[in-house]
Chain A
Amino acid sequence: MDAAQVNSEVNLISKTFRFFSFSDYSVQVVVLGVIFMGVGCGLMGGFVVTRKLSLFGDTLSHAVLPGVAVGFLWSQSKNSISIIVGAMIAGFLGVFLISLLKKTTRIGLDSALGLVLSGFYAVGICLLTRIQKMEFGNQSGIDRYLFGQITGISASDVWAMGISCILIALITMIFYKELLVTGFDHGFAHSIGLPVDFLQYLLWMLLAFAVITSLQVIGVILVSALLIIPAATASIITQKMRNLLVWSALLGMVAGVIGSYISFLGSRLPTGPIIVLTSTLIFILTLFFHSQNGLLFKWLRLRGKERKIALENTLKAVYQELEGNKFSEDSVRLGNLAKRRRVSMPEMYQEAIHLVKKELAFLIPVKNQNLPSENTLTLSPAGWSEACRIVRNHRLWELYLTNEVQYAADHVHEDAEKIEHVLGDETVRKIERILSNPRRDPHGKLIPSRQDIEQGFIEKMVAKNLS
């Protein structure tokens, strides 16, 4: 048992070394193959995804299967040239049928794609099953076209992948700006005299190259994943076409290398699905953890905003409590605050702690711990100025709505509850100018002024105004 474990660990290390040292001929073939495949499919995927043609890529990959089978029957061996030619012919027949269906019938594009996809795929499966029952067929490894298997691909396969990849990279680079404009604005591209149809067929041909040369490694069913997933991941990262293509190619390559490495370790793992799983994992990680567009950081930002609003509302509630007592006291009981904020006592306590942590208030605990609502809160100078600022924003906005936008006085509170948290200093100054520095809100309450905020004290002013 122990010996076996040690043995497998040694095996793992030696295999890892064999893979990444890149010295082994079979490893060289594999790694070069997946790099070409990842880059080629990644680049084409960038075009497919931004043009919203994902289902088209899927259809094309399924449609080539009968061509693969016929190409195999033709040469009676796994000769890559005849298989590629067969697959190309089947692919173009599929594309031709789709446009024929679209032109001559009322069937929508999605249905036409579905029809061709399933029809061609069914024919392909029938032919493959027949081939496997023939005498030369059962050892041919033709089933690798369904699910993909990296081990044992030949040098000529890698040549085909390399040529296809370089062709794709060259042509998309040469026609970059033409492909950009036809993808974004078909009508405009036509209006400046570009051969829109030619460019579209060119793109489809390159797509067919990428798909067909990848089939052995990734399989008919999953090749569209290699088109879609890296490009979709790239579209989270960037919103520039050039960067999107680079990222997509890079991510396709990385997924290919990692996936084929894992598949290389365990001899029974199919390469295609492992590469797709790696690619999917990268997508999920990007979706959640990307620093600008990732869901996690969006959520954190949102939560940060919510906490800030809660904090500002508590400060406002403290101000209102003090105002209710005509500023005769300088502290408020948590029980009263909770009532005003309409939250439970534990929640209120949490918010009070939050204020204390931010050095906006001091919490004076009562001796009797069974009466948490009797704890009192006193604002620090910084807390005072923050509270005055929020109340001022609220009341200024109410006044602005009633005086300038002609809202009824009983309609303005709800709106001000939201706006008070987002009013910037500049907007506040503007409103002050428009309203010529008002002192009372529509409900007759005092609007704490800028000086009050700057001094951090309100008592003197209150004494003067309320006397």
Chain B
Amino acid sequence: MNKSLLPLEVHDLTVSYNRKPVLYGIDLEIEEGGLIGIIGPNGAGKSTLIKTIMGIVPANGGWVKIFGGKGKKSYRRVGYVPQRESVDWDFPVSVLDVVLMGRYGHTGWLKRISKKDRNIAHECLEKVNMSLFADRQIGKLSGGQQQRVFLARALAQESDLYLMDEPFAGVDAVTESAIIELLRELKQKGKTLLVVHHDLSNAKEYFDQIILLNMRLIAYGDASKTFTKDLLQKTYGGRLTVFTEIADQSAKDDHINHEHKIG
């Protein structure tokens, strides 16, 4: 395949919040059609990586290419599932309203939602088994149901690349298995899925490939090769403390930070 058309290419991506580095020099080349888990301890920058790819968090350095393109136009080819806590569940929208938001990228400005969009939204609700709740206000759902609605919205986007931030967080066992079933189905259809995941116990079973992340990219590859005791220890253990300290210091130092941006 032409390298420039990879679903996702990340080069030397560096991100910091309030002068504290969160991600440092991340390189990734994701090939088409895979279910990929992003794994790392709390504060490792998993969510930040996804948000930076989507342009929600600005990067300090490096670049991101989505199917060879950069910027706003390329975002439209990505289905995004944010963390459940990131939205206001009291907001006066119904389940169907939320799923229809997945169609906004297709309908464009000033145009109304068409009948076809509505049908697609209903189909997507059907796929996550939430049709009965279409008219319900989203705050009146359980955590698992809310996550299903988010997933239905992503399905409605009909994207080729999906970025999902902790879709399994706080959901019941039935929802979890329904979600993983759905993700596998998408993969069968040749979609590429990047999923932030926090549960090590089932990571190897869920994902074909795994990205181990802790501020740096520790490893990326087939689950059987990356999900090893050594690499996990490197991700979760304290071996990186010296690196973290130095990076902290350099980020606080305006001069070095500045140099890095130019470089």
Of B6-14, B81-89, B185-193, the stretch lying at the interface with chain A is: B81-89
B101 x A187 contact (CB < 8 A):
no
One of B54, B88, B104 near A181 (C-beta < 8 A): B104
Name A168-225 residues within 8 Å CB distance of B: 174, 177-178, 180-181, 183-188, 190-194
One of B54, B56, B72, B97 near A241 (C-beta < 8 A): B97
User: A139 in the interface, Cβ–Cβ < 8 Å?
Assistant: no
User: B113 in the interface, Cβ–Cβ < 8 Å?
Assistant: yes
* Nearest CB in chain A: distance from B29 CB, A: 21
Per-residue 0/1 for A313-344: is the Cβ within 8 Å of any B Cβ (1 yes, 0 no)?
A: 00000000000000000000000000000000
Closest residue of chain A to B138 (Cβ to Cβ) is: A184
Contacts of B92 in A (CB 8 A): 50, 235, 238-241, 244
One of A187, A193, A241 near B51 (C-beta < 8 A): A187
Residues on A facing B (Cβ under 8 Å): 50, 52, 174, 177-178, 180-181, 183-188, 190-194, 235, 238-241, 244
- 10 cross-chain pairs, A with B, having the tightest CB-CB distances, nearest first: A191-B80, A192-B105, A239-B137, A193-B72, A191-B54, A184-B91, A185-B87, A187-B82, A241-B92, A239-B92
Contacts of A240 in B (CB 8 A): 92-94, 97, 137
* Nearest CB in chain B: distance from A245 CB, A: 9
* Nearest CB in chain B: distance from A187 CB, A: 5
A180 x B56 contact (CB < 8 A):
no
Besides A187-B87, A239-B94, A240-B97, 13 other CB < 8 A contacts? A50-B92, A177-B101, A180-B93, A180-B101, A184-B87, A186-B86, A187-B54, A187-B56, A188-B82, A191-B55, A194-B104, A240-B93, A240-B94
Contacts of B88 in A (CB 8 A): 52, 184
Contacts of A241 in B (CB 8 A): 91-93, 97
A177-B80 Cα distance, complex, nearest whole Å:
18
- Give the residue among A180, A184, A191, A239 with the most B Cβ atoms within 10 A: A191
A151-B45 Cα distance, complex, nearest whole Å:
60
**Contact status of A177 and B75, CB under 8 A, knowing A187-B54, A187-B86:** no
* Nearest CB in chain A: distance from B208 CB, A: 24
Closest residue of chain A to B81 (Cβ to Cβ) is: A188
Closest residue of chain B to A177 (Cβ to Cβ) is: B104
**Contact status of A174 and B110, CB under 8 A, knowing A180-B101, A181-B104, A184-B91:** yes
Contacts of B194 in A (CB 8 A): none
A191 x B78 contact (CB < 8 A):
yes
Contacts of A192 in B (CB 8 A): 75-76, 80, 101, 104-105, 157
A193-B80 Cα distance, complex, nearest whole Å:
12
* Nearest CB in chain B: distance from A333 CB, A: 48
A66-B157 Cα distance, complex, nearest whole Å:
48
A38-B149 Cα distance, complex, nearest whole Å:
36
Closest residue of chain A to B165 (Cβ to Cβ) is: A187
Closest residue of chain A to B109 (Cβ to Cβ) is: A178
Interface of A is mostly: helix
A247-B232 Cα distance, complex, nearest whole Å:
56
Closest residue of chain B to A234 (Cβ to Cβ) is: B92
Contacts of A239 in B (CB 8 A): 92, 94, 137
User: B116 in the interface, Cβ–Cβ < 8 Å?
Assistant: no
User: B98 in the interface, Cβ–Cβ < 8 Å?
Assistant: yes
User: B73 in the interface, Cβ–Cβ < 8 Å?
Assistant: yes
Contacts of A180 in B (CB 8 A): 93, 97, 101
A186-B86 Cα distance, complex, nearest whole Å:
9
A191-B87 Cα distance, complex, nearest whole Å:
14
A-B contact list, 11 entries, CB within 8 Å: A50-B92, A178-B104, A180-B101, A181-B101, A187-B56, A187-B86, A190-B75, A191-B78, A239-B137, A240-B92, A241-B93
A441-B56 Cα distance, complex, nearest whole Å:
61
* Nearest CB in chain A: distance from B87 CB, A: 5
A50 x B91 contact (CB < 8 A):
yes
A452-B56 Cα distance, complex, nearest whole Å:
67
A187-B85 Cα distance, complex, nearest whole Å:
12
Contacts of A187 in B (CB 8 A): 51, 54, 56, 80, 82, 86-87
Contacts of A190 in B (CB 8 A): 54-56, 75
A219-B101 Cα distance, complex, nearest whole Å:
39
* Nearest CB in chain B: distance from A286 CB, A: 16
Contacts of B76 in A (CB 8 A): 192-193
Closest residue of chain A to B91 (Cβ to Cβ) is: A184
Contacts of B94 in A (CB 8 A): 239-240
* Nearest CB in chain B: distance from A171 CB, A: 11
Contacts of B86 in A (CB 8 A): 185-187
**Contact status of A177 and B113, CB under 8 A, knowing A187-B51, A240-B93:** yes
B105 x A193 contact (CB < 8 A):
yes
Closest residue of chain B to A190 (Cβ to Cβ) is: B56
* Nearest CB in chain B: distance from A99 CB, A: 16
* Nearest CB in chain B: distance from A242 CB, A: 9
A183-B90 Cα distance, complex, nearest whole Å:
11
Per-residue 0/1 for B95-119: is the Cβ within 8 Å of any A Cβ (1 yes, 0 no)?
A: 0011001001101011001000000
**Contact status of A191 and B75, CB under 8 A, knowing A185-B82, A239-B137:** yes
Name B111-170 residues within 8 Å CB distance of A: 113, 137, 153, 157
B82 x A184 contact (CB < 8 A):
no
Contacts of A177 in B (CB 8 A): 101, 104, 107, 113
Closest residue of chain B to A244 (Cβ to Cβ) is: B92
* Nearest CB in chain B: distance from A447 CB, A: 32
Contacts of B104 in A (CB 8 A): 177-178, 181, 192, 194
* Nearest CB in chain A: distance from B192 CB, A: 16
Contacts of A183 in B (CB 8 A): 91
* Nearest CB in chain B: distance from A344 CB, A: 41
A235-B139 Cα distance, complex, nearest whole Å:
14
Contacts of A181 in B (CB 8 A): 101, 104
Contacts of B73 in A (CB 8 A): 193
A101-B55 Cα distance, complex, nearest whole Å:
24
- Give the residue among B56, B75, B87, B93 with the most A Cβ atoms within 10 A: B93
Closest residue of chain B to A52 (Cβ to Cβ) is: B88
Per-residue 0/1 for B17-58: is the Cβ within 8 Å of any A Cβ (1 yes, 0 no)?
A: 000000000000000000000000000000000010011100
Per-residue 0/1 for B180-213: is the Cβ within 8 Å of any A Cβ (1 yes, 0 no)?
A: 0000000000000000000000000000000000
* Nearest CB in chain B: distance from A290 CB, A: 15
Contacts of B80 in A (CB 8 A): 187-188, 191-192
Closest residue of chain B to A191 (Cβ to Cβ) is: B80
* Nearest CB in chain A: distance from B138 CB, A: 8
* Nearest CB in chain B: distance from A109 CB, A: 15
A193-B56 Cα distance, complex, nearest whole Å:
10
A235-B137 Cα distance, complex, nearest whole Å:
12
